[in-house]
Amino acid sequence: MKATTMTLTEKRQTVFPLEWCRREGLEHGGPLNVFDLGEEGLLVRPVRPPEKQVVERLLRQLPAGRHSPKRSASIVSNALRRARNEDGRH
């Protein structure tokens, strides 16, 4: 594991190493999950969209019937969360 020094500005901004950004597909930015590990530091992982076939399979499992817009959004959100977890992505 290669160590890299990063600087955090007064506005809490930083620039990630270009090599890591390229490897993770984040050259142009993107969403990150950050996990606070307490004394151990932070764990930073890119948010990956689930693969198309995973989403399609989960959406086919939706309960039949009409749902309110709020309930529909909740069902889709839960399906995407499960897809990310099943796909091994956080």
Q: How far apart are CA 17 and CA 20, in angstroms?
A: 5
Domain residue limits, the chain: 7-47, 52-86
Angle at Cα 77 formed by Cα 71 and Cα 83, nearest 5°?
A: 140
Q: Report pLDDT digits (tens) over 40-62.
A: 999 999 988 778 888 888 777 76
pLDDT at 90: 47
pLDDT at 10: 95
pLDDT at 37 over 90: yes
> pTM of the predicted model, to two decimals?
0.52
Q: pLDDT tier at 74 (50, 70, 90 boundaries)?
A: confident
Query: Rounded mean pLDDT of the chain?
Result: 83
Q: How far apart are CA 87 and CA 42, in angstroms?
A: 23
Mean pLDDT of 51-80: 79
Q: Report pLDDT digits (tens) over 22-32.
A: 999 999 999 99
CB of 37 within 8 A of CB of 43? yes
